[in-house]
Amino acid sequence: MSKRGSLACVGIGMMLGAHIGARARATIERADVVFMAVSDPLVELWLQGMHRDVRSLQPCYGGGRSRRQAYAEMVALLLSEVRAGHRVCAAFYGHPGVFAVAPHQAIAQARAEGYEAHMEPGISAEDCLYADLGLDPGATGCQHFEAGQFLQYRRHVDRGALLVLWQVGMAVSGPGGRQLPMGAWQRLLLQRLLQDYPADHTVTLYEAATLAIARPRIEGMRLSGLEGAGLRPQTTLVLPPCAALQPDRAILEEIAASEPAESRCATIKSTV
């Protein structure tokens, strides 16, 4: 049997007031306490208009804390209210399960302690990207990587599919913990991408719009121009395929051989 307290991590979408779903809104309105992991004053005011007790999680990032420490403090704040028997709602930009560590950790911890916990999805930057750029991930397939992870680990790139690199404006840290200068980071990322793509390959820098009066950032350029491009933490890099899909002849022959005789005959007749 679940305990009295509960936790819901909800997504408010990317665009202020326009992307939030009915279930997420209702969860915010019915909660005893609402935490928000947002840094925009307009979003804060909007959330405060839906609930009388809205508390910011942004101070968790202060005091020189690492991101890991900040996430741990967020989880502790959420769980302390859950353990007190309250219905707790935590609101996150976009989708609360996408590029957000604290929601997953908090939900897992709450469930482990016997509390009811769930996640309400929201419209993410990925959803906006497909709409704004007119892309169908099912056309050629799509591979997604966080840019820092992509650079630091051996990842195999399918050049016949879309490649989407997230957070290309967040430079990684070196072995000593010091963050790389942005110029060095961009140079290393470009060098890695040139292993799989030609320098004149057309790529797109993308940032979703967060206000109805704003436009998304859609900036096309040659891959070689990436080193001097203006990158922000929210910038996404999209690389279209640079090679055709390669048929697997052995599999195609096996599929053809497994077809019923009647189907093969019909296929032959239709081609005569």
User: What is the C-alpha to C-alpha distance for residues 38 and 59, in angstroms, rounded to an integer?
Assistant: 11
- Given 87, 93, 197, 206, the catalytic residue: 93
Active site residue 71: yes
Active site residue 93: yes
Please give the backbone phi and psi of residue 44, each rounded to the nearest 5 degrees, phi first: -60, -45
- Given 71, 115, 197, 206, the catalytic residue: 71
DSSP 172: P
- Given 4, 30, 67, 264, the catalytic residue: 67
**What spatial distance separates the first Cα and last Cα of the chain, rounded to whole Å?**
68
The C-alpha angle with vertex 143 and arms to 228 and 11, in degrees rounded to 5, equals: 90
Active site residue 67: yes
Specify whether the CB–CB gap between 71 and 101 falls below 8 A: yes
Alpha carbon separation from 43 to 38, 140, 198 (Å, rounded): 7, 36, 41
Looking at the annotation, which residues are catalytic? 67, 71, 93
